[in-house]
Amino acid sequence: MTLASAALGIFGGGGIFMARATVRAQRVTAAADEAIARLNAAPQAKAQDFAVLQATVARVDEENGQLRGKQARFDALLGGFSRTVNRLIYRMERAGIPPEPDDIDELVREYMRTGA
């Protein structure tokens, strides 16, 4: 028996080493496949996060626009009330009927004093 044939007989033609190498190669391949899957999933997750962010910004912009519209209408209404009260107080004073202190709310008096 030659040395080569003895080695083949003992090691089974390299079967043990080949099996270990195959198992290691499979583990490395599985780890690489998993890493690639994570890398491929990351941009999709970021794209989904970005889509959620865009939708949120659009909703907040819409709500902000609605609030600005309501605030503008409220400011106009407050101005209208203020002008009306000023005209009525002026007419009362011209007619010799000054308003009672309790007739004018403190917030209205402050507004009439400061304009704010």
pLDDT of residue 7: 46
Kindly report, residue by residue over 2-59, the tens digit of the pLDDT: 544 544 454 544 555 555 667 676 777 777 778 777 777 777 777 787 888 889 889 9
What residues contact 104, with CB distance under 8 A and at least 6 apart? 85, 89, 112
Q: Which residue type, as a one-letter code, is found at position 82? A: S
Question: In the chain, what is the greatest distance between 2 CA atoms, to the nearest angstrom?
Answer: 137
Spatial separation of the C-alpha atoms in residues 30 and 56, rounded to whole Å: 38
C-alpha separations of 43 from 11, 38, 110 in Å = 48, 9, 58
Kindly report, residue by residue over 45-102, the tens digit of the pLDDT: 777 878 888 898 899 999 999 999 999 999 999 889 888 988 988 999 999 998 888 8
Spatial separation of the C-alpha atoms in residues 8 and 10, rounded to whole Å: 6
* pTM listed for this prediction: 0.48
Q: For residue 104, count CB atoms less than 10 angstroms from its CB and return exposed for 0-12, middle for 13-18, buried for 19 or more.
A: middle
Spatial separation of the C-alpha atoms in residues 45 and 59, rounded to whole Å: 21
